[in-house]
Amino acid sequence: MISSAASAPANPWLSWQYVQTNRGDILDALGQHVGLTVQAVALATVVALPLAALAHVHPRLAGPVLGFSGALYTIPSLALFALIYPFLLDARLSVLIGLVMYALLVLVRNVLVGLQGVPEDVRDAARGLGYGRARLLLTVELPHAVPAVMAGLRLATVTTVALATIGVVVGYGGLGQLMFRGFQSDYHAEILTAALLCVALALVADGLLRLLGRAVTPWLRAGSVR
């Protein structure tokens, strides 16, 4: 008699055959995941920069701005995506809005910290040259805040890569779709392949942003050489 364990089909965690057979599905899910991440972080940056600048120029607004973005971050992702979807009836847009909301806290906080960290003597020198408030912000404070902004972008991007998988709750989760399908069918290779691709995507994105940060802050490299 053949035991049930012996007759059970192989279910490895790593399977190149799975990758070859399902390459189309994997590439579609990966492309969806990359698109969600890039668009969410870009939109969050567009919103976060003026919000942080406003909170910096008007310090009384810093508390409400950070409090509001922090409150958004505390909403569980499963609940947030599920709550947004019935109003929009668009899975992709629902996930995108949710990801933007989560990225806001990280970006607003980092931009604000960067702006507040500009040395006071630098501001005084700019004022002595006749710089007004808007020119001081755009040409002095924001450039000095670039390292903090890039650090925020890196953190927000890695976080978004992870959170995008939760979009599967409304049917648009990128690599999360493969993970969910793998859990449903107990297909180990599908689960691990999607998970490894998420990790790889986060590492690649973080590495590219780190290189971009070095490229836009040459003065930091010059300082380290000395």
Assign 91 to helix, strand or coil.
helix
Q: What is the pLDDT of residues 135-162, one digit of tens each?
A: 888 888 888 889 999 999 999 999 999 9
φ/ψ of residue 130, rounded to 5? 90, 15
Separation CA 121–CA 127 (nearest Å): 10
> pTM surpassing 0.95?
no
Structure tokens at 173: 């989760």
Listed residue (135, 125, 144, 107) closest to 219, CA to CA: 144
Q: What is the DSSP string of 151-199?
A: HHHHHHHHHHHHHGGGGGGGT--THHHHHHHHHHHT-HHHHHHHHHHHH
Q: How far is CA 7 from CA 14, 71, 172, 189, in A?
A: 20, 52, 36, 19
Q: How far is CA 66 from CA 42, 49, 70, 85, 200, in A?
A: 19, 13, 6, 26, 31
**Residue 197: burial class (beta carbons within 10 Å; 0-12, 13-18, 19+):** buried
Q: Are 19 and 193 in contact (CB under 8 A)?
A: yes
Specify the amino acid at residue 179.
M
Listed residue (183, 132, 122, 156) closest to 52, CA to CA: 156
Q: What is the pLDDT of residues 10-69, one digit of tens each?
A: 788 888 888 999 999 999 999 999 999 999 999 999 999 999 999 888 889 888 888 888
Catalogue all structural domains in the chain, each as residue range(s) with its CATH number.
38-164 (1.10.3720.10)
Q: What is the pLDDT of residues 174-214, one digit of tens each?
A: 999 999 999 998 889 999 999 999 999 999 999 999 999 88
Q: What is the pLDDT of residues 69-124, one digit of tens each?
A: 888 888 888 888 888 888 888 989 999 999 999 898 889 999 998 888 888 888 88
